[in-house]
Amino acid sequence: MKAAHSVTDLVAAGLMTPAAGEAVAAVADRYAIALTPYLLETLADAAPGDPLYAQYVPSPEEAYTAPEEREDPIGDVVRSPVKGIVHRYPDRVLLKPLHACAVYCRFCFRREMVGPGGEALSPEELDAALAYVRAHPEVWEVVVTGGDPLLLSPRRLSHIVRSLSDIPHVGVVRLHTRIPVADPARVTTELIEALKAPELATWMAIHVNHADELTEPARGAIARLADAGIPLLGQTVLLKGINDDAAALEALFRGLVRNRIKPYYLHHPDLAAGTSHFRPTLAEGQALVKGLRGRVSGLCQPTYVLDIPGGHGKAPAAPGWVRPDGEGGYLAEDFTGAAHRYRG
């Protein structure tokens, strides 16, 4: 079975009717589509209401862009001093070696930047990005993201990780990926060995939004990473109709912990174009998170966060950090203590 990269592929795989394909043609022209053979097999009997189906298969709702939505919702561009680097916080940077993914989530906050054949940094551009890290001794952690860095070959991954390990002030590399739950067979011994280097702690954040993603193959890939000594974190987006109820979140977070993944962040959906149908209100999210306190242990509690539009960083989305402004919106406090208006 081949990967699906178009509406035609989705129709051929039986995931949508020809009429449904025509209804999302404009969406497919704007936003990338990709499902791995593994996911196509997993979704073989799924319908549009399935929590995995809704994450990967385009819908007509994506054609609508709400007034508050943005092409660059968290301000990557304004915080990018050189190509491939985002420097938002003093002690850490994002390193984005490519803008391609194995799968394209329908709610992705970088959906305007990623796509098939997503541009990878040239050797010269990667050298310049690493030189930036080398020239900034305050940078202690490098978050390798994209796109999905685990799409890179083990050779290229090893080069990046070992280059970072050669920089004395870098202590941690953290890789963000969907691969273990979207293409678990890709997590091979060779790939895992490429993620480790002397004098550097390697962490991995795995993006998982529903307990149904923790299939037997996915659990196997996760176990291979954990058995290799790589600490694992869970990143989850709160998504209307997918995981926006206490039972779904409880099952997910317990499933993550059982598989040696610490729930790290529960993200309020960013203001990405065409994603308003996925976005609950902040009040709804806060109520869900509050309700989880009595249902699951502290091991299962992520931090609920809002990424403040404009590049101001994350704010814990709890009373005291995010509060009503009295005008129908919110005031969100960033890590410097400054307050920013949020409407969405």
Q: Is 311 helix (H, G, I), strand (E, B) or coil?
A: coil
Backbone angles phi, psi at 143, to 5 degrees: -100, 110
CA 53/CA 83 separation, integer angstroms = 34
Contact (Cβ atoms closer than 8 angstroms) between residue 118 and residue 99: yes
Contact (Cβ atoms closer than 8 angstroms) between residue 243 and residue 252: yes
What's the confidence (pLDDT) of residue 117?
66
Q: Kind of pairing, strands 232-237 and 261-267?
A: parallel
Tell me the CA distances in angstroms from 98 to 142, 200, 214, one per residue in order. 15, 22, 26
| Positive or negative: CA dihedral 4, 5, 8, 11 | positive
Residues forming the active site: 88-89, 92, 101, 105, 108, 110, 270, 307, 314
Instruction: Provide the CB-side half-sphere exposure for 189 (13 A, CA).
Output: 0
DSSP secondary structure of 24-39: THHHHHHS---B-HHH
Token reading at 215: 């299939």
Residue 156: CB partners within 8 Å, gap ≥ 6? 97
Q: Give the model confidence (pLDDT) of 93-120 as tens digits.
A: 999 999 999 999 999 999 988 877 668 8
Tell me the CA distances in angstroms from 247 to 48, 279, 283, one per residue in order. 20, 18, 18
The residues of the chain scoring below 70 in pLDDT are 117-118, 319-320
What's the confidence (pLDDT) of residue 118?
67
The CA angle 309-315-321, to the nearest 5 degrees, is 115
What's the confidence (pLDDT) of residue 48?
85
